[in-house]
Structure 1
Amino acid sequence: MTSELERQARAFAQELQKTLNGTVCRHVRIAAVLRPRSEAGPVFTLGHGLTRIKPTQPEAFPLRVDNRRPRAWMNLSFQLRLDDEGSHLAVHSSYCGIFADEDLETCLCQFDYERGKDKYTSAHVQVYGTSPALEALNGRADQKRTLDKLHIPVGGKRFRPCIEDVIEFLITERLVEAHEGWEQRVEEGRVRYRRGQLKAAMRRHPDVVEEYLRDRQRKEKRD
């Protein structure tokens, strides 16, 4: 099982590396390293700067396409395992943080996914800043949450944002510079991601697939 997981994890790491270096980065290396002693079974961690000696703490990398000083940094991590059938790659958790500094002290936002989370939605985004509305809604003196403590839902397990969505957000909001042709690279990756998610949904809900096919057949007969 580990060999199949390793093959798929390394292939995913290469796709991720190619996407980043073709859009908002240069010379970023994404490694896939087996995580030691995981309760979830064999798990590979994906990230920048990982080695067998340092298998669990990815390093941040600059978002830049030339030699100019970067305006933003990304800290990225994926925990990957095989699904319950032992056939397909599954994301156990993921994290993508956008920062204004290399020391990761000033965060703009972070996109998180934690499979099986029960206290709040498994896929969410946290935004750092101030909010007069939240201050008013906090109400009680003992309820003084800051904006980044809110877990804003973003599509759930199956329809959460992909890295291409984050990249497009950074470029279109003029937070980073991009390579020429980034649009095609983003769209190719997003299509690949959504097809994979759709196939996973079909495997988990064959009754819905059968219902769709029956409805389509009835429509074709009427036409």
Structure 2
Amino acid sequence: MSSDEPSLVELAQVFADDLTTRVQTVVPGSVPFTAKVVPERSVVSVKQEPGDGIVLTVDGKPHLLLKVSFRCSFDGHSRFLAVDSSRVHVFASVSPGQPLFRYEYERRASQVPAAHIQIHAHRDALTYVMTKSGAGTRRGRRRSDSEQVPLMQDLHFPVGGHRFRPALEDVLEMLIDEFGIDDAKDAREALHVGRQAWRQTQTKSAVRDDPQSAVEVLRQLGYEVDWRGGGEEPQSRLDRLQAL
């Protein structure tokens, strides 16, 4: 890395500032995220200090508690910031000891899926939270107005949108790993090949959604990329990039 390129902690602080901006649009005045070097390791932690979490309210009253943290390092080219791990934990404000559920990512995971959701709560805990839903959205209003006990199956957890959603191969391998279901001798190899094909297809689709970002990265890697299609260059499909 040349001396005029930003350091790891500088890149991580830019990331932290972006996180702060996004979170504070939802919870004004929440504690900013900061980037700090982890002693004796080539990683930087990005989290809030103090780490008491982000209080989410309903009608001005504490309802949920959100705790978020990241560990970052340089990518394989030692130029760009990469997320090594991330933790997004959601607690009931009345019971902050155990999270209701958590989204986690491990860049070097080997025994579990790299990106995954884990649900800690028993049904009663989630039911309590759901019955106290705010009325500012259609789903929240439907739950708060209903006299029926809400069901866990009514919760919708986003996992990557149009382009980065899990493949069938991910679900099948999860069932093998987590529940020990029977699998044929070459099942994992077939699942890995299928996952590779799926992600290559999705990468191509993602490039079509956002060709400008693809061109930018290819040029950073040393490729020469020029538009020769005639007419105007295709623009990024913001509807796809912004969709939940």
1:63-78 alignment to 2 at 5 Å? 63-64=56-57, 68-78=60-70
1:61 aligned onto 2:49: no
Q: CA deviation at 1:7?
A: 1.2
1:13 aligned onto 2:16: yes
Q: CA deviation at 1:120?
A: 1.8
Unaligned ranges ≥5, structure 1: 51-57, 132-151, 162-193, 218-223
Q: CA deviation at 1:96?
A: 0.4
1:170-189 alignment to 2 at 5 Å? none
1:41-190 alignment to 2 at 5 Å? 42-49=42-49, 58-64=51-57, 68-101=60-93, 104-130=96-122, 154-155=159-160, 159=164
Native 8 Å contact 2:30 2:54 kept in 1: no
Identity, % of aligned positions: 29
Relative to structure 1, the CA distance from residue 120 to residue 82 in structure 2 (aligned partners, 3 Å threshold; closer, same or farther) is same
Relative to structure 1, the CA distance from residue 159 to residue 34 in structure 2 (aligned partners, 3 Å threshold; closer, same or farther) is farther
Native 8 Å contact 1:25 1:63 kept in 2: no
C-alpha deviations, 1:41-75, integer Å up to 9, x for none?
x211011115xxxxxxx432312499x33211111
Q: Per chain length, whose mean CA-contact separation is higher, i.e. which structure has more relative contact order (CA < 8 Å, sep 6+)? A: 1
User: Match for 1:125: what amino acid?
Assistant: I
Unaligned ranges ≥5, structure 2: 124-156, 167-208, 230-244
Q: Displaced runs of 4+ in structure 1, greater than 3 A? A: 152-155, 158-161
Relative to structure 1, the CA distance from residue 3 to residue 117 in structure 2 (aligned partners, 3 Å threshold; closer, same or farther) is same
Relative to structure 1, the CA distance from residue 102 to residue 31 in structure 2 (aligned partners, 3 Å threshold; closer, same or farther) is farther
Distance 2:52 2:29 in 1: 15
Q: TM-score, normalised by structure 2?
A: 0.48
Q: CA deviation at 1:25?
A: 4.4
Distance 2:21 2:107 in 1: 26
Q: TM-score, normalised by structure 1?
A: 0.52
Query: How many correspondences in the alignment?
Result: 150
User: Match for 2:49: what amino acid?
Assistant: G
Q: RMSD over aligned Cα, in angstroms?
A: 4.3
